[in-house]
Structure 1
Amino acid sequence: MDLVPGGSVLGRRRLSPLIASLASPRPSVCPRCAFPFTKCPYPSPYSANISLTSHAKKRDTYAQPVPKQTTTRAEEEERVEEEFMEDFEDEIMMDDTEDFEDDFEVEYVDLNVGDGAEGGGISLAGTWWDKEALLIAEEVSMLFDGDLKIYAFKTSTNLTIRLRIEKLSSKYGSPCMSDIEAFSTAYQSHLDEAELAGKIPKNISLEVSSPGVERVVRVPEELERFKDLPMYVKYSSINAETALTQENDGVFKLISFDLDLCQCTWGLADVRINRQQAGKGRPLSRKQREWQLQTPFESLSLVRLYSDC
């Protein structure tokens, strides 16, 4: 859900269009289909993913003034949390006379755990400078008392650093605009010092953003944190007939987990893809509501948040 950075230039940093849009009123009707946003079949542009990009290759002598903040930090953080939850609560309304499913299909690419992007983790390109860049990022994280933590870090051979941060004091780990800007500014300053010392090359581009709405859930560390949200789960099991391992997946809700037994108990999440099995426009059946699955932690190959409710 990353957005292509752009917008006005502030020194050596570029602010994404999403950051600019946070300051303007949200429209009540989608400009693409003329439906209210609660009925719109297209993905909402108002996601919890915020991005801030810094381009060291483009140096501007005259910086534009910083726009005045019209909201407090607490209000801004609350708004980010509300927008994050809207992506899970907004649902396409089913109508007996019109089926949006026939005209719209969500395109989804599987996340790779530890890919340095939405899958989290560290992914280094193997350059002579990327370990130093990672060390600097970890040092900057400590400047915020560990509240802003590195969720994903990725370097590229084209002198690009892509960094995703999460906020531990936020229930769902969503940093607000000012958090991302503060981290980006501090990190860029430390990169400049390392550049002068010859520890990293010149003209490195930096992109700092949030983890994304459909972020990977770390098992078991983050199960408690995200237990109230639907999750896409990919897991392996033993086929009783063939005794072979097979891959399975589904959209579940977490019922419970046991750290001693190292296992989870899941039920079907009340989301559209599961409701469709009961029939168009119908709620989950009694059999679906009572269905449960137990999985050992080691059988879970991917657990991520699921936003298409």
Structure 2
Amino acid sequence: MRAIAASGGAASDGGSGERRREQRSGNDAEANRKIVVEDDDDFEDELEENECEEEEANLFVGDGGAGGGISLAGMWWDKEALAIAEGVSMSFDGDLKIYAFKTTANATIRVRIEKISTKYGSPSIDDIEAFSKAYRSRLDEAELAERIPDNISLEVSSPGLERVVRIPDELERFKDRPMYVKYISDGAASASPQESDGVYKLISYDMELCQCTWGFADVKINRQKAGKGRPLSKKQREWRLQTPFESLCLVRLHSDC
């Protein structure tokens, strides 16, 4: 389940169908803020599948979205908006940390937050709402002081189902989860290195040698290679891949949907 708190701007439907924005009245911006939560299983599955496909096609580390990091549109106000968001994060004693921050030319701020005190960093709906409310209040103050434009739209959400795993810092945190791994592999002696990928489980990692050992994850995409309705083959279960940290182009969580 993914929740998004949205405020400000005109009503719109984001690409995945789950983002909604409402027009804020001048006197009561807070009244129109809302939390969008998908509780219906079928509807949620459809949205998550569409979101996975969209984000996988465009995701890269530091994109300000599912890939995490900061992505500023180069507007006169976006550094101020980022500084305000960082201040809000600190007001929660750093427990609600900014995973991704993005501004757009149409005066939209998109923030993804993670909760440091939880195992996988997933914030609750209440966490998202609390951060959104605090940030919206600070943005309203900045609007009155003319430090940012007065038509800012805000979206606050979780990192997403297939968030990026930061290497090597988050290997321990997500070691029990299947991961999509894109890496540079050494080809034959006469061949140039090439990009390869797969869905793996982390077997081990060595901080001194700066390398990981992977095996096939027991997920649908890998089981299908063994034959319909069959478990992983013995060859798949015993297969291992060793990758230096520096060869990893992208590592993100894999959702078996």
Q: TM-score, normalization: structure 1?
A: 0.71
- Aligned-partner SS, 1:17: strand
What's the Cα RMSD here?
A: 2.5
- Matched residue type, 1:303: V
- Matched residue type, 2:247: S
- The answer (yes or no) to whether the contact 1:8–1:15 under 8 Å persists in 2 is no
1:281 counterpart (205, 229, 235): 229
Cα distance in 1, alignment partners of residues 32 and 118 from structure 2 = 26
- Matched residue type, 2:36: P
Unaligned regions of 5+ residues in structure 2, if any?
3-15
Cα distance in 2, alignment partners of residues 242 and 7 from structure 1 = 58
Change in Cα spacing, 1:306 to 1:279, as seen in structure 2 (3 Å) is same
Deviation of 1:210 after TM superposition, in Å, equals: 0.5
2:45 counterpart (43, 46, 53): 43
- The answer (yes or no) to whether the contact 1:5–1:14 under 8 Å persists in 2 is no
- The answer (yes or no) to whether the contact 2:203–2:214 under 8 Å persists in 1 is yes
Match of 1:5 in 2: 20
Deviation of 1:110 after TM superposition, in Å, equals: 4.5
Cα distance in 1, alignment partners of residues 135 and 129 from structure 2 = 10
Cα distance in 2, alignment partners of residues 151 and 130 from structure 1 = 17
Cα distance in 1, alignment partners of residues 61 and 31 from structure 2 = 32
Change in Cα spacing, 1:181 to 1:132, as seen in structure 2 (3 Å) is same
Match of 2:33 in 1: 14
Match of 1:247 in 2: 195
Match of 1:262 in 2: 210
Cα distance in 2, alignment partners of residues 242 and 128 from structure 1 = 51
Map 1:217-228; keep pairs closer than 5 Å.
Answer: 217-228=165-176
2:243 counterpart (271, 274, 295): 295
Cα distance in 1, alignment partners of residues 195 and 112 from structure 2 = 29
Unaligned regions of 5+ residues in structure 1, if any?
32-41, 50-105
1:199 aligns with 2:140: no
Change in Cα spacing, 1:5 to 1:132, as seen in structure 2 (3 Å) is same
- Greater strand percent: which structure? 2
Match of 2:63 in 1: 115
Render the CA deviation track for 1:101-156: whole Å, top value 9, x for unaligned. Answer: xxxxx775241111101111000000111001101100110000000000000001
Change in Cα spacing, 1:13 to 1:271, as seen in structure 2 (3 Å) is same
Q: TM-score, normalization: structure 2?
A: 0.84
- The answer (yes or no) to whether the contact 1:151–1:166 under 8 Å persists in 2 is yes
- The answer (yes or no) to whether the contact 1:6–1:16 under 8 Å persists in 2 is no
Deviation of 1:198 after TM superposition, in Å, equals: 1.7
Match of 1:64 in 2: none
Deviation of 1:45 after TM superposition, in Å, equals: 5.5
